[in-house]
Every structure is written in C-alpha cells, then in structure tokens.
Amino acid sequence: MNETLTNKQTLRQGATAAWPICLGYFPIGLALGVLAQKAGLPWWAVAMMSVMVFAGSAQFICVAMIAAGASTPAIILTTFVVNLRHVLMSSALAVYLQGVNRKFLALYSYGVTDESFAVNLTRFREGDWGRWQALIVNHMANSVWIMATICGALIGQFVPQGALGVDYALTGMFICLLVFQLQGRIYVLTGILAAALSIMWYLMIPGDSYIVGSSMSAATIGYLLKRRYRRSK
C-alpha cells in the first residue's frame, strides 16, 4: 500500500468503494425498519439494534422472532449462532491486518458485514488497498444502515403489511453477493456444497445450527479442494 496517500485521497478511495454498498443498504435498511415497526418496535429501539448489532440477517431474524413471540434467550442464541459466520470473515481479513493495533482492530471489526467483507477482501487481494480505506468502507456502510433502518421505522406506519416485497430484500441481497463470488469452478462447487449441506443439516438437526455448520463445512471442503488443485498444477 502506498503510504504517501493524503487523507483526501484515502477518503475518496474508501468512499468510491463504499457507495455501492450504501446504495444497496438503504432500501434493505428501510425494509428492516418497516418490518420492525410492524412487529411493534419503536424507532429508538430499531436505532439501538442497528448501532449495537449492525448485522442485517441477524436483525431480520430478530424482528421475525419478536413478531412470532419468541423468548429473549431464544432470540439471543439464534442471532449469536447466525453471526458466527463473522469469525470466518474476520479470519480471512486478519491476513491483511497483521501488526495493526488492537484499538484499530476493535473499531474495524465492529463494521465487518457480508458486503464490506466482500468489497474489502477483493480490494486487499488486488493490492494497493490499506486499512484506512477498508475502515471507511465499513463505517460509511454502517452510517447509511443506521439511518435507513430509523427512516424505515418512522415511515413504517404508512406502509401496508407485505407491500413492495420488503420481506424479500435480504434474500435478494445475499443472492447477488453469492453470484459475484462465483469466480471459478471451485467456488461454484463450494456454493453447491453449502446449499446441499444446509438443506440436509436443516432436515436432520433441529434449530439454526445448519447456517454456521454448513457454511464452515463447505468452506473447509472448498479450501481443501483449492489446495489440492494448486498442488496438482
């Protein structure tokens, strides 16, 4: 990474990489805010959730469980399991953040999401990308997400239940993220394995462990296949 970049250049590069995430986060955040309002959460509770949790899938699950009348321990345990995938993402990013002080890592790790992870990991691999640009990506997306969820909660009372397909927003976002990651046969195979394992796991083992279990299993198999492929070249 070129250390001679000015603060303005660093900010510009980070913002340029972040704006597509922000553009996608706004409608999804609005959708979450609307759904949360329909579930009976006030706007300030939605704001606190976005600030303290900042995990779209976990927040959607939390809102759905609140609407279904689930208990607090069940909600906490479920969102914890769902968010365990951040361990995998953070492990991949740690390779590019070696030697960075813990205060920065704490600030950076707070903003790691599926989308910022995908963008920053791609930029790190391409080179000429540093921790400050990555931090800007994380926290620009974070700011937009918080603002969008609050707006959604405030306008939710004016939106009919199920209107505009807001309940499909998160699913559509993850499909797009998956498609952009399919950059070779091994990636496609890993995706298919994850889907097959998640279905079998879901049918055989009760609970939400299939989300993390299938992801870790497929990622491990994909890693082993990729390493074997490299050795055979």
- Which residues of the chain fall below pLDDT 70? 1-5, 159-174, 176-177, 180-181, 208-209, 211-212, 232-233
pLDDT value of position 44: 92
Chain segment 105-138, per-residue pLDDT in tens: 888 888 888 888 888 888 888 888 888 888 999 9
- Provide the Cα torsion 69, 172, 37, 52; round to 10°: 80
Residues 118 and 141: their CA atoms lie apart, in Å, by: 13
194 and 143 both lie in a single domain: no
Q: Is residue 219 part of a domain?
A: yes
- Provide the Cα torsion 99, 100, 103, 105; round to 10°: -110
Within 10 angstroms of residue 87's Cβ, the number of other Cβ atoms is 10
Residues 182 and 201: their CA atoms lie apart, in Å, by: 23
78 and 155 both lie in a single domain: yes
Q: What is the token pair recorded at 162?
A: 């199920």
Q: What does pTM read for this prediction?
A: 0.69
Q: Is residue 171 part of a domain?
A: no
Q: Which residue matches tokens 């990013």? A: 93
Which domain range does residue 53 map to? Answer: 7-160
94 and 40 both lie in a single domain: yes
Q: In sequence order, what are the residues at sequence separation of 6 or more whose Cβ sits closer than 8 angstroms to the Cβ of residue 33?
A: 43, 46, 148, 149, 150, 151, 152, 153, 154, 155, 156
pLDDT value of position 36: 86
211 and 126 both lie in a single domain: no
Q: Which residue matches tokens 């195979």? A: 189
Q: Is residue 172 part of a domain?
A: no
113 and 207 both lie in a single domain: no
Residue that finishes a domain, picked among 107, 128, 160: 160
Q: Is residue 151 part of a domain?
A: yes
Q: Are 166 and 30 in contact (CB under 8 A)?
A: yes
Residues 179 and 124: their CA atoms lie apart, in Å, by: 20
Q: Is residue 131 part of a domain?
A: yes
